[in-house]
Every structure is written in C-alpha cells, then in structure tokens.
C-alpha cells in the first residue's frame, strides 16, 4: 500500500490522487446478480478502503465462517500468512537446528515466519518494538527469544540471542535492524527480502548491505512478492489451515473501528504502533 | 590473494608477514620420492610465489601437455574457468535469449562467463577497461557488445548495449560498475557475486546496492566461491575441455617474466593493467 502512494515504477500500480485506496477486504454481499454469490455471503476480495464496492466476481472468494474466523483470511490464512510461508520455505529454506531471525515479529507476516520456523525445528528469534510485543512473541507465539530494537544495546542483545549466528533472516524492515543483523549472519545464510518498512518513507537513500559479507559468507539475498509463489497457495492453505486448527499457528488482530480512522491507523503501522495484524472495521 | 593480505575473517586463511604468498602454480617435478610423480612430470598445484616447493602430493594433479597447453590449467581449464562455469550456470541460470552482463570481461573469469553465455544462446555484454580490451572481447571472444567503463558516458553506453535490460549480472568488480548496472537489471535478475576487485583496497566502506530494487524487481544476489561447487568439477572439465578443443572457448594469457616482478604485476592486476589471465613465469 505504501508503495502505491508513489509514482515510482513498481510491481503494484500507483493509486491516483482521488481514487479509493486499494487493499484486501473481507465483506458481506448485500446485493448480487451473480449466481455464485448470494446476499449474506462473506467474501474475501480486494474492495479497498470504502463502505461498498462493486465487483464482477473475479478475484472474490467465498469464506466459510464455520471453518475459521473470517478475518483470518486477511492475515494468518491469507496474503500475510502466505507471504511468510512462501518466503521462509522457498527462499529461506530453513533446516532443523538453524536459527531464523525475523523483524516485525509480532506482525502479520513476522509472527507466522517464526511459528513456522519452530514447526520446522529451528530456533526462532524475533525482533520487535517494545517489551509488550517481545513478551507476546515469546510467551504467546512460542519464539525462543525476542529482542526489542529500541534500546541502545539492541545489537548486543541480538547477538546474545543468536549464539550460533543467523542462518535465515526474514527481512521485513531494513534500516537499523538490518545493520544489526548483518554481522551475525552465518556462512551461507539466506535472506528473503519481503519488506523494508523502516525505509519506505525515507527521503535520503539508505546504504545497502555490505557486499564483502555477501562474498565472504556466501550469502543469498532475494527479493520477492507473494504472487511470485502462487503455485504454492494450495500447499499453504492446507498447511496453515491444519496448523491454525491444531493451535500451532496463533495470531493477534489489532482492530481499528471506523473507516475514517484508517489513515491514522496506516500512519501508525508505518511507525510500528499496531500490535498484530492491523484491520479496519468499516461497519 | 588480495583477501589473504588482510587479517579480516574470511574463507581463506590470511598469509602471515614473511610467509611465501600462496597461489596456484603449474610446475615441473625436479625430484620425487612419491611413486605417483616422476621427475619431468608437469603438475598443477598450490605451490605459491617461489622457485621451488615441497609437497606430500596431496592437492597436486598431473597435467597432460598433449591434451592442452599446461598453463590453461591455471585459467580457462582451471579455477578461473570453473568459477565462471559454476557461478554463471548454478547461480545465474541464464536462459536462451536473456542478456548476461559481466565486468572484467577480458579477464580469466569474465571472458569465460561471456563465452559460456553465448554457447547457451544468450546476449553477452562485457564491461572492460579501455578500447583494446573491448575490441578483443567482441572481435576475438565473440561477445555481442563490450562497453569501456572509463569514459564519463559509461552508464549511457551500457544502457544502449542492453536494450532489454540485464537478466544476469556476473559481479567481479563492485563499485562504480555495479552502480551503473543496477538500474538496468530486469525483473527476477540473478547476480552471482564472485569478486569485488574495485573495492578490495578501499579504505572507506562502499555503499551496498539499493534494497528497494531487490524487492521491486525481485532480484537474487548470491555470493560464492568456486569450492562451493566442487561437485560440478567433473562436468566443468568435460564441457570446458570440449569447448576449448573445438575453439568455442578462447583465452588469452598475460605472462610476466620473473618471480621478482610478481608484486608489481599483482598491483597492476588490482588496477586492471593486465590483459588476459595474468601468469608469472618463474624460470
């Protein structure tokens, strides 16, 4: 979404000034001339930031409220969950016993990354903003450790939490967190680059990572977006559904009431003020 | 070798002050108590910068002077050739019709990268220092284009030589060449990181590549050293031998006479003054 608020060339089309902001939505069908959707159906779609949206039915998927809370389709069982699943397993390729570090660890993507790392037999180390989020990541989500990136001794704390170095760093944030992670990367570490939230609004370029480490440690750095792995969606829905039902995959939602509060909530997200998957309840 | 002249942690052990400099050598057996090697045999080994070396026989391989000129075992049929082969094919994974760009294109590694790219049906674009090297790369090695990185309009010339962008950038140099290549990388480009010769002697850190491009273009950047791909050596020796015999894989040697000239020749290499694989003839 932040990328769409810029005219810079990207995989996502910019949103024009005056257009509704795009975004994933869970909604209720209130009128239908499409035989596939009946009034009252709950659907996942891409309706954007508004009260009502018209759709021809393409890209809209009916949800079963009996199978899982429908809002999970926007988080752990939807695009953020799939992003975590594909980036970690297809690019990160964690092996049992390895250390997986993830920033924004209490967020919609990061929380799933660490929980899948644990399911795969890894040491999961989260990085999050503030003691409440860190406590949640360890006590509720079951990560082995979580380090608060705000205190001045963050880099030392992170090193202490990763005594065998970092084999997979799932990159969500960039900036100062990336700089602290870099010296801890172990030989042949893999870095799926999913997001750079600390850099999106920067007005001066942030220096990229040290190339000598790339060479000396034979690192693999790879950018991706979730749609690159569309072929893995069925695997994801099966695995994540199983894990969620059996309680191995937990999640938390941060629900803001009222569409009029969406812009402030979005600015808060960019500043790390949300706690869990940020959702806006429209009505 | 340059990396070994520093105490910094790396995959190669530093050379201590006063020790002979290490390096690959082709030599003649002048005395032997090992049944596998007879006086007069020509061998590939790791004798280092000296007139005579003692060996227990481990890591020493007999060469057949009838099969290929023995010096080729230090270049196109040896470690540099294998580096090009493994980095390009295992990490770069070029597909027919794609554009492969390589810096230090007249050098021992770069020249092989571009020639294999041509064999695989790609457009090969070299980058080299000066018009003589560029002419050689196109006219003798058969690259589609070669751009001189020294003139001020280098970035524009490179763009003109890569009308469809760059799908594989084989990184040998870093620095200013890397900065010119970066905006030309096409979506899903692969960047095997083999060397950073323009940065080895830098006294201030060189900023790493732009992370936003990594994400937007879904780039893959991967550092490697040739020994990471030891399992591919038999394939390499078979393919490179075939290509060299059939004249599809050409090479050039830059031979410096006299061990006493090795340090100056090495400094020249770091400044791009050699033309082809740099060899020092000891006796």
Would you give the end-to-end CA distance of chain A in angstroms? Answer: 22
d(CA A57, CA B243): 56
Does A221 contact chain B (CB < 8 Å)?
yes
Higher pLDDT, B276 or A218: A218
For residue range B226-269, list pLDDT tens digits in order: 999 999 999 999 999 999 989 999 998 999 999 999 999 999 98
Contacts of B221 in chain A (CB under 8 A): 214, 219-222
All residue ranges of chain A with pLDDT < 70 are none
- The whole-angstrom separation of Cα A125 and Cα B18 is 44
Q: Please, what is the average pLDDT of chain A?
A: 93
Residue with tokens 């929380």, as numbered in its chain: A111
The pLDDT of residue A68 is 87
CA distance A139 to chain B (A): 32
Residue B182: the pLDDT is: 96
Chain B interface, best mutation among A10, A223, A226, A227, by max B CB count within 10 A: A223
Helix (H, G, I), strand (E, B) or coil at B149: coil
How far apart are alpha carbons A239 and B198 in whole angstroms?
A: 47
pLDDT over 80 at B24, yes or no:
yes
Joined together, the tokens standing for residue B268 give 């020249």
Residue B209 touches chain A, beta carbons under 8 Å = yes
Q: Which chain A residue is nearest to residue B199, measuring alpha carbons?
A: A212
To the nearest 10 degrees (0 to 180), the angle between helices A79-86 and A110-119 is 50
Mean pLDDT of B75-82: 94
Name the residue among A199, A216, A220 with its Cβ closest to that of B211.
A199
pLDDT at position B70 is 93
Q: What is the pLDDT of residue B208?
A: 85
In tens, the pLDDT along B26-54 reads 999 999 999 999 999 999 999 899 999 99
Query: Rounded to two decimals, what is the model's pTM?
Result: 0.88
Tell me whether residue A55 is exposed, middle or buried, using C-beta atoms within 10 angstroms of its C-beta: 0 to 12, 13 to 18, 19 or more.
middle
Calculate what percentage of chain B has a pLDDT beyond 70.
100
Per-residue confidence band for B121, with pLDDT thresholds at 50, 70 and 90: very high
The predicted pLDDT at position B188 comes to 98
3-state secondary structure chain A: CCHHHCCCCCCCCCCCCCCCCCCCEEEECCCCCCCCCCCCCEEEECCCCCCCCCCCCCCCEECCCCCCCHHHHHCCCCHHHHHHHHHHHHHHCCCCCCEEEEECCCCCCHHHHHHHHHHCCCEEEEEECCHHHHHHHHHCCCCCEEEECCCCCHHHHHHHHCCCCEEEEEECCCHHHHHHHHHHEEEEEEEEECCCCCCCCCCCCCCECCHHHHHHCCCEEEECCHHHHHHHHHHHHHHHHHHHHCCCCCCCEEEEECHHHHHHHHHHHHCCCCCCEEEEECC
Per residue in A147-182, is it b (16+ CB within 10 Å) or e — as a string? Answer: bbbeeeebbebbbebbeebbbbbbbbbbbebbebbb
Q: What is the pLDDT of residue A228?
A: 95
Torsion on CA atoms B29, B30, B33, B35, rounded to nearest 10? 40
* pLDDT surpassing 90 at residue B93: yes
* pLDDT at site A96: 98
User: B87: which DSSP letter?
Assistant: I
Identify which has the larger pLDDT, B180 or B283: B180
CA distance B91 to B97: 17
């Amino acid at each position: 979404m932040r990328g769409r608020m810029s005219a810079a060339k990207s995989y996502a089309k910019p949103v024009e000034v005056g257009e509704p902001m795009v975004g994933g939505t869970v909604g209720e069908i209130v009128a239908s001339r499409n035989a596939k959707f009946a009034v009252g159906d709950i659907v996942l779609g891409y309706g954007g930031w508004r009260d009502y949206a018209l759709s021809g039915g393409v890209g809209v998927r009916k949800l079963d409220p009996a199978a899982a809370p429908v809002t999970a389709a926007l988080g752990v069982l939807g695009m953020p969950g799939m992003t975590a699943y594909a980036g970690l397993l297809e690019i990160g390729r964690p092996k049992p016993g390895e250390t997986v570090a993830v920033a924004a660890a209490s967020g919609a993507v990061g929380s799933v990354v660490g929980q899948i790392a644990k399911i795969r037999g890894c040491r999961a180390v989260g990085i999050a903003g503030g003691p409440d989020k860190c406590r949640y990541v360890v006590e509720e989500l079951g990560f082995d450790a979580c380090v608060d990136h705000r205190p001045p001794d963050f880099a030392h704390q992170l090193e202490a939490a990763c005594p065998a170095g970092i084999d997979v760093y799932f990159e969500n944030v960039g900036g100062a967190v990336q700089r602290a992670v870099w010296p801890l990367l172990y030989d042949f570490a893999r870095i799926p680059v999913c997001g750079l939230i600390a850099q999106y609004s920067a007005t001066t370029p942030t220096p990229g990572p040290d190339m000598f480490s790339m060479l000396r440690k034979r690192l693999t750095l790879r950018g991706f977006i979730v749609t690159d792995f569309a072929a893995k969606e069925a695997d994801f829905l099966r695995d994540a559904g199983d894990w969620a039902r059996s309680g191995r995959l937990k999640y938390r939602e941060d629900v803001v009431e009222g569409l009029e509060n969406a812009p402030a909530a979005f600015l808060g997200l960019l500043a790390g003020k949300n706690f869990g998957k940020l959702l806006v309840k429209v009505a």
